[in-house]
Structure 1
Amino acid sequence: MTRFVVPAAASILVGLLLGAASVFGATLMIQQDTKPALQPGDPASSVLNRVEYGNRG
């Protein structure tokens, strides 16, 4: 009887752990499926935040 109980219990435990991991992973993927919020830039600043020396005038 022990020959069947121990492998069955191990199989159930592994199945539960894999199921919990897959649910947790799917939840993380769904939550991270959004674009990050962009901060508004200053129109007077240089293009792409590169430092530019001197005047353009």
Structure 2
Amino acid sequence: MSRFVVPAAASILVGLLLGAASVFGATLMVQQDTKPPVTAGNPDSAVLNRVEYGERK
């Protein structure tokens, strides 16, 4: 009888652990699927500290 109980219990335990890890991983992926907030920069300054010629309007 124990030839079937121990492998069955181990299989159940591994299945539960894999299921919990997949749910946790999917939750993290969904939470990180957002865009960061965009902040307005100073229009008088050059983009990426490069020299820009001309006027911005």
Class of the TM-score when normalised by the shorter of the 2 chains: 0.7 to 0.9
Q: TM-score, normalised by structure 2?
A: 0.79
* Corresponding residue of 1:14: 14
Identity %: 73
Structure 1 residue 50 and structure 2 residue 17: aligned? Answer: no
* Corresponding residue of 2:35: 35
> Aligned letter for 2:49?
R
Structure 1 unaligned regions, length at least 5:
none
Structure 2 unaligned regions, length at least 5:
none
> Aligned letter for 2:16?
L
Q: CA RMSD in A?
A: 2.1
Q: TM-score, normalised by structure 1?
A: 0.79
Deviations 1:8-43 (A, max 9, x none): 010000000000011001111111111111221110
* Equivalences, count: 55
- Deviating above 3 A after TM superposition, structure 1's stretches of 4 or more consecutive aligned residues are none
Q: Which structure carries more relative contact order (alpha carbon 8 Å, separation 6+)?
A: 2
